[in-house]
Amino acid sequence: MDVPYLKLAHDGLDQVLGRPGWSKVADSVKLPEGFEDRVKGRGIVWTTWAAQHKILAHKATGGFLTHCGWNSLIEGLHYGRPLIMLPLLYDQGLNARFWDKKIGIEVPRNEDDGSFTKNWVAKSLNLVVVDDEGKAYRDGAKEYSALFGDKDPHDRYMDKCVEHLESILEVCTFLPRKEATLLCDLYALLYFLK
């Protein structure tokens, strides 16, 4: 595995994804010596927290290198950004495989140890953002932005969910606390599984 590049990729992701308020990591990132000179004139280097929504909303953003957490996927699709997927933990691999080839691609990895190289990352970025072959991914992401960017259905879903949860609570208030908790948990589980 190309460890120095992995560190650089991680630092770059931190710059784009930002640091949450609870983060114990310093606010500024120390980049490798000479990095800013090597990339001068090809974009912006930002070494402190950055607002992901503002970056994704900007028309110059051609793609989104993401770890594939669900919130990040939704944000990327909200703005119609094709995805270059680099899952690391938990549900991220499943999310990447679900969306792979629809609105972006997953960075190839070594099947034995899960490692990847800087060349694989660079080729994936180039394919999705620049190459004519990647137009299908860019078009697919724009199509999904109509769905994920439309606030009305999401508001209706949330209203319906809250309404349903309130109706469950009304039923459960007539039972002793222990039974009410068990019944509410069971009912909620069955409702969301159907």
**Whole-angstrom distance, CA of residue 76 vs CA of residue 173:** 41
Q: Give the pLDDT score at 44.
A: 75
Give burial (CB, 10 Å; 0-12/13-18/19+) of 14: middle
As a whole number of angstroms, the longest Cα–Cα distance in the chain is: 69
Residue range 104-121, pLDDT digits in tens: 999 998 888 888 888 898
Q: Provide the token pair at 156.
A: 């209706």
Task: Give pTM, 2 decimals.
Answer: 0.63
Whether the predicted pLDDT of 128 surpasses 90: yes
**Whole-angstrom distance, CA of residue 123 vs CA of residue 44:** 21
Whether the predicted pLDDT of 184 surpasses 70: no
Q: Provide the token pair at 16.
A: 């784009």
Query: What is the pLDDT confidence band of residue 2, given thresholds at 50, 70 and 90?
Result: very low
Instruction: Write down the mean pLDDT value for the chain.
Output: 77
The H-or-E segment that residue 106 falls in is strand 104-106
Q: Is 64 helix (H, G, I), strand (E, B) or coil?
A: strand
**Whole-angstrom distance, CA of residue 86 vs CA of residue 123:** 13
Q: Give the pLDDT score at 3.
A: 46
For residues 22 and 45, the model is more confident at 45
Query: What is the pLDDT confidence band of residue 51, given thresholds at 50, 70 and 90?
Result: confident
**Whole-angstrom distance, CA of residue 76 vs CA of residue 137:** 13
Query: What is the pLDDT confidence band of residue 52, given thresholds at 50, 70 and 90?
Result: confident
Residue range 5-33, pLDDT digits in tens: 445 555 555 555 454 554 545 556 778 88
Q: Give the pLDDT score at 5.
A: 47
Query: What is the pLDDT confidence band of residue 142, given thresholds at 50, 70 and 90?
Result: very high
Q: Which residue has the tokens 């974009």?
A: 43
